A and B are shown apart, each in its own frame.
Chain A
């Protein structure tokens, strides 16, 4: 079993819809939780970085962490075609970053 599970999708939504992404994990030692966005032929770009359980909001993006359920989510409100990308969750304890396989999202104009 992988340490981090992420549904690869693909996920296709119309412009303006809410995109909901999630990951589950098995290692209770993970302390830091991140979401990255990766456009085709580019490196992953850090979107959200959270430490504790709860919600963190940044513009149209909201990250949720539920440590008791070992579950994290990313919500994108008012999605735009420019949000079309692969989204990777990542988790860290000390130095080691463990990634999900990524979910490919397409926002249709």
Chain B
């Protein structure tokens, strides 16, 4: 089984809909992150969390919210999806002094 699991793997939704992307990890890491990846722009940080009670905005948090339900679970919500949120979304985890470990991604299309 994967260390970092994202669900769903693919999602098509309509403008204005609320959508939640979920991430769970078995690596035992405290730190979790959400990124989006767009062609030519690389990976950009949306939100990050260093523990269950700690939530921080990244460089592109507008239009997104997150919830850290447990050490192993970190979900990303789009309250009212818009087409320019069409992208590949990645969850990642890390511990102090380690690199970040990524899930397989969720491909989201907003029509």
Interface: B48 (CB within 8 A): yes
CB within 8 Å of B: which A30-61 residues? 32, 34, 36, 41-46, 49
Interface: B12 (CB within 8 A): no
CB within 8 Å of A: which B94-111 residues? 98-105, 107
Known A95-B31, A95-B50: A46·B100 in contact at CB below 8 Å: yes
Question: Which of B13-21, B38-46, B61-69, B76-84 forms part of the interface with chain A?
Answer: B38-46
CA A102 to CA B90, docked complex, whole Å? 15
Most chain A beta-carbon neighbours within 10 Å: one of B40, B101, B102, B104: B102
Least CB separation from B58: chain A residue: A96
Query: By the criterion CB–CB under 8 Å, are B99 and A99 in contact?
Result: no
Among B40, B90, B99, point to the contact of A46 (Cβ < 8 A): B99
Query: By the criterion CB–CB under 8 Å, are B100 and A97 in contact?
Result: yes
Known A44-B90, A99-B43: A49·B99 in contact at CB below 8 Å: yes
Interface: A101 (CB within 8 A): yes
Known A95-B31, A95-B48, A99-B42: A49·B98 in contact at CB below 8 Å: yes
CA A95 to CA B94, docked complex, whole Å? 9
CB-defined contacts of A43 to chain B, threshold 8 Å: 4, 90, 102-105
Query: By the criterion CB–CB under 8 Å, are B50 and A101 in contact?
Result: no
Most chain B beta-carbon neighbours within 10 Å: one of A6, A42, A43, A45: A43
Among B41, B45, B100, point to the contact of A101 (Cβ < 8 A): B41
Query: By the criterion CB–CB under 8 Å, are A42 and B50 in contact?
Result: no
Query: By the criterion CB–CB under 8 Å, are B45 and A96 in contact?
Result: yes
CB within 8 Å of A: which B9-30 residues? none
Query: By the criterion CB–CB under 8 Å, are A34 and B105 in contact?
Result: no
List 14 A-B pairs, Cβ < 8 Å: A32-B99, A36-B102, A43-B102, A44-B90, A46-B100, A49-B99, A88-B42, A95-B31, A95-B48, A95-B50, A97-B33, A97-B45, A100-B42, A101-B41
